[in-house]
Amino acid sequence: MSIVKTKINRQIIIYALLVLFTSFFILPMYILVLTSFKPFQDVTVSTLWNWPTSLSTDGFSRAFKKLAPNLLNSFYLVIPATLISATLGSLNGYVLAQWKFKGSKILFALILFGMFIPYQSILFPLVQFLQAIDLYGSIPGLILVHVVYGIPITTLIFRNYYYEVPTVLTEAAKVDGANILAVYRHIFFPISLPAFVVVVIWQFTNIWNEFLFAVTVTSQPANQPITVALSNLAGSQVIEWNIQMSGAIITALPTLLVYIFLGRYFIKGLLAGSVKG
Amino acid sequence: MRIFLSFTLLVLLVFVLTPLAFADERVEIFSWWTGGGEEEGLLALLEFFSANYPDLELINATVAGGAGTNAKAVLKTRMVGGNPPDSFQVHGGAELIDTYVKTGLMQPITDFLQEWGIKDKFNQQILELCSYQGELYAIPVNVHRGNVLWYNKALLAQYDLEEPTNLYTFVTALKQLAEQGVTPLALGDKNKWTATHLFECIMVATLGATKYNGLWDGTTSFNDPGIREALVVFGEIINYVNEDHAALTWQDASERVFSGKAVFNVMGDWAEGYFKTMGWTPGQEFGWIAVPGTRGSFMVITDCFGLPKGAPNPDGAKAWLKTIASVEGQDIFNPIKGSIPSRLDADQELYDPYLTDSMHDFTTAALTPSIAHGSAAPEGFITALHDALNQFITERDVEQTLHRIKKAAADFL
Amino acid sequence: MKQKTREGLISLALLSPSLIAIAIFVYGFIARTVQISFLDWNSFLNLLQNQKNYVGWSNYSDLYADPRFQTDLWNTLYFTLFFIIGSIAIGILLAMLLNEKPRGGIIFQNIYLFPLAISFVVTGTVWRWIFSPGTLPDNPYGINLLFQKIGLSSLQWGWFTNTNSFLSFNLALIAVIIAAIWQYSGYTMAMWLAGLKGIPEQLIEAARIDGATKWQIFTKIIFPLQFPITLSAIIVLAHVSLKAFALVYNMTGSGPNNVTDIPAIYMFEATFRANRYSTGSSIAVVMLLMVGLLIIPYLVNVIFKKES
């Protein structure tokens, strides 16, 4: 009897804590949604918690009208950048995990370091470089940037994944005389689907939400991804926060959907993204 | 393997095709007008342009954020990379001259105005701001006034106050209001420029327009007692602003006046656009005067467009400049944007009571360039002044701040 | 031996596109930034003229003497410290709660995770509204208003507009730290949850039979097993905190007397507003060194330790 009672008490405590944290996590989201449905006149810091005087979807329709082309741009950017960086990461991870050679660990460390640098330290030369190769201001330029700076994380995830595969397979293939690419193609590529899913989700969210590179590299609205267009909604004078927050929800929707439906893969991705020996 | 190959090919193809998409018949106009009235004004202007030049395709390149700071950063990197737009928005004065003209990046356009025969139609002082060594480098399309004191009319009546006319009566009024328990002056300096904006208005009041303007050509010394006095008065006035000023933007500060929580606000006349968007009518719910002590002065913030060297389509750029120099162009843009034209022959009927008031002052007052908005001094000086004032508001050390301002002047002017 | 060399060369060839890209985009550009930090490119004109006028360490010594930069370093230290402690502690707590497999756990888990999916540009603005103090005591805003409504007015204070400090810790940072913890504790939670799945049930069961309390099981078994994961989380969080630019920029800016300023904001202002490219580069180099001090020993440790 008492065991059951403590069990119930434990459940109550657990739920109380979960709900407490939920309110903390929901709070900003509540503001976000509430504001997006307010008419412009209702949106001020002083009336933050108030319900809208009238429910308005004006913010949403105007935000969507303005953001639609950039939403498409983001897909043009994110899909190739994700696929290319995943492919490169897969090849790199395969070589670094299965075809170790003298100095391969040093190379791995050198690649990995690229993931941790503050991007401020490369921003200025990056812009000059892109101008020199005539890719400045274009989506392909931005794709290139995201592919390159995505290499460290994708390499890491694939390397950790392939690391679990016994090298016996590779050794056997070597004896058979199969070349390095043939082994990859026939043995490793076919078993890589889970790792690809993880990498694709990770890269998709990161590139989708990225702002610093996007705003520095693209100045023409026709080429801007949605994060930049979202900040452009603000303008420099009167900021219509209802449109801004509606725009934010539209912007976040694709990544939110990814989280809701593929969340468990994302968690796997996080784990795979930890640096292992 | 085939998947990889076609993949690579596809990527290469995208890379190769993109630069080809740029044809000559395009005119790229770069600005940070991306939202609200300014965007609508720009779009109306672009439509007017397209009606006159149907063969030219306009590219409306915009970068928003931080009152143009993001756009300026992007523009500079493009200029350094030899990749300029055909024409770009820039504030007249130091921002244009120091950054782009003295560095040899712009072409003089004095001949254009002569060719079109409209040089005398402009306010000549404002053309001066866009000129260097006798040559004109940009066409000013609009004018904003910085030194405006806005007030909530109902509150002013409620507390039985007159419009203050000089710094002394202003401070007295603020003091009285503070005793009544209302915020006397709203300030939102989450972004540091608003504090500088307030300070520069006080500088004009203590120095006078002539001496203030002399600071930027070296005829007035930074040892002038007027600067110290400005700092002391600034410190006094800051005592009467809302305690949470560091959490607010200028819009939030204007909202304090709108919602009746604060009586006064010092802000450029884009605040009028804010009040109107919130549903107020100029002269009914809110009133305005020049910041006390600056009556004969007009703190000017003007948006200009010029012709960069190496513009891909200079003829297109010329067509654009002609459009914004025309009285029709200025009268299309400004009433929507909420600013006044740089020409003096505009149609007053199109403008609201505040703007007509401002147009009148514009013809008679002495123009003073704004520091906070880049017209008076180079960017190095501005950020140094921002930092010095930001520290001053907390620490109130007049001597140290004065020292920092003088050092900034020595380093950057 | 020969076979080995050949294999090495082929491996290298396969890696080469990535290696070349990283060599240019990471190391080449860093070298360029380091170079600029030793030049006198502190005006737009000097940048345009592209003349290499070396001024030695003067950009760095100017920074060293700059009170704003000193504040920035303290802010970074405290922000990183409290942000990591908070995110790790809350993340672990959430993971342990969810590990009890309560009904509806997956919903809670998604709620705790979603901040990771939203850009700082948005969350920064929302948190600014929430922590806007209003004018106390009459006109509280945001969270202060909530406190008033639930009768906790004593908790009201100036949040990120407060200019007091304690042992060089600017109290204004607390608001920013809370916002950052909100965004990233889900990360620690997710990593811990994934790790917890790998702990064999029998191990816990055995300990329980031996009479170990829940707390003992946690401190003696679970935590040590989860230590490597926690360490990776700490490293990732530490480098997130050094990149917290977008959050601080949108939420508070530098704050009164730079109480919420961080090097990334100073770097941005120096480079893109004041045209002080060399000053900006030297700040970037200092930031890089701070990350390097943290990351390099860690990378060397985890990658090379198992060599033997």
Per-residue pLDDT at C79: 96
Q: How confident is the model at residue C308 (pLDDT cuts 50, 70, 90)?
A: very low
Per-residue pLDDT at A198: 82
How confident is the model over C32-41, as pLDDT tens digits? 999 999 999 9
- Mean pLDDT over A69-88 rounds to 94
Contacting A residues, span 115-174, partner chain C, CB-CB under 8 Å? 116-122, 124-126, 129, 145, 147-149, 151-152, 155, 174
- Least reliable range by pLDDT among A235-244, B299-308, C3-12, C215-224: A235-244
Q: Where does chain C show beta strands of DSSP type E?
A: 134-135, 139-140, 165-166, 169-170
- Least reliable range by pLDDT among A214-228, A245-259, B152-166, B325-339: A214-228
User: How far is the alpha carbon of C169 from chain A, nearest alpha carbon, in Å?
Assistant: 23
Per-residue pLDDT at C70: 95
B93 or A101, higher pLDDT: B93
Partner-chain contact B248 C254, CB within 8 Å: no
Q: Tell me phi and psi for residue B287, to 5 degrees.
A: -120, 175
B188 touches chain A (CB under 8 A): no
Q: Could you give the angle at which helices C277-304 and C223-242 cross, rounded to 10 degrees?
A: 160
From the list B102, B183, B244, which residue is nearest C161 (CB)? B244
> Which of A13, A23, A38, A121 to mutate to probe the C interface, most C CBs <10 Å?
A121
> Which of B1, B74, B183, B190 to mutate to probe the C interface, most C CBs <10 Å?
B190
Distance CA C49, CA C31 (A): 20
Checking if the pLDDT of A252 tops 80, the result is yes
Checking if the pLDDT of A243 tops 60, the result is yes
From the list C135, C160, C257, which residue is nearest B243 (CB)? C135
Distance CA C13, CA B368 (A): 64
- Mean pLDDT over C230-242 rounds to 83
How confident is the model over C123-149, as pLDDT tens digits? 888 898 899 888 877 788 888 988 888
Checking if the pLDDT of A4 tops 80, the result is no
Per-residue pLDDT at B5: 45
Report, as ranges of residue numbers, the positions in chain B whose pLDDT lies below 50. 1-23
Per-residue pLDDT at A55: 83
Per-residue pLDDT at A275: 56
Query: Could you give the domains of chain A?
Result: 4-11+15-47 (no CATH), 58-272 (1.10.3720.10)
Task: Supply C79's token pair.
Answer: 């922000």
User: How far is the alpha carbon of A101 from chain C, nearest alpha carbon, in Å?
Assistant: 5
In the CATH scheme, what is the code of domain B24-144+302-363? 3.40.190.10
Per-residue pLDDT at C285: 94
Reduced to 3 states (helix: H, G, I; strand: E, B; else coil), residue B155 is helix
Q: Which chains touch B (3 or more CB pairs under 8 A)?
A: A, C
Checking if the pLDDT of A219 tops 80, the result is no
Checking if the pLDDT of C252 tops 70, the result is yes
From the list B98, B244, B261, which residue is nearest C158 (CB)? B244
Q: Which sequence spans correspond to the domains of chain B?
A: 24-144+302-363, 148-299+369-412
Per-residue pLDDT at B67: 66
Checking if the pLDDT of A271 tops 70, the result is no
From the list B247, B380, B395, which residue is nearest C43 (CB)? B380
User: A5 Cβ partners below 8 Å, 6+ apart?
Assistant: none
Of all residues in chain A, the percent with pLDDT exceeding 90 is: 26
Q: How confident is the model at residue A62 (pLDDT cuts 50, 70, 90)?
A: confident
Q: What's the mean pLDDT when you consider all of chain C?
A: 88
Partner-chain contact B38 A237, CB within 8 Å: yes
Per-residue pLDDT at B280: 94
Cβ atoms < 10 Å from Cβ of C198: 10
Cβ atoms < 10 Å from Cβ of B187: 28
Query: Could you give the domains of chain C?
Result: 71-307 (1.10.3720.10)
Q: What's the mean pLDDT when you consider all of chain A?
A: 85
Distance CA C210, CA B327 (A): 91
C99 or A211, higher pLDDT: C99
Q: Where does B146-200 show beta strands of DSSP type E?
A: 148-152, 183-186
Q: Chain A residues with CB inside 8 Å of C134's CB?
A: 45-46
In the CATH scheme, what is the code of domain B148-299+369-412? 3.40.190.10
State if pTM tops 0.90: no
Q: Please give, one letter per residue, the 3-state secondary structure of A110-177.
A: HHHHCCCCCCHHHHHHHHHHHHHCCCCCCHHHHHHHHHHHHHHHHHHHHHHHHHCCCCHHHHHHHHHC
Per-residue pLDDT at C96: 94
Strands B138-145, B131-132: pairing is: unpaired
Q: How confident is the model at residue C229 (pLDDT cuts 50, 70, 90)?
A: confident
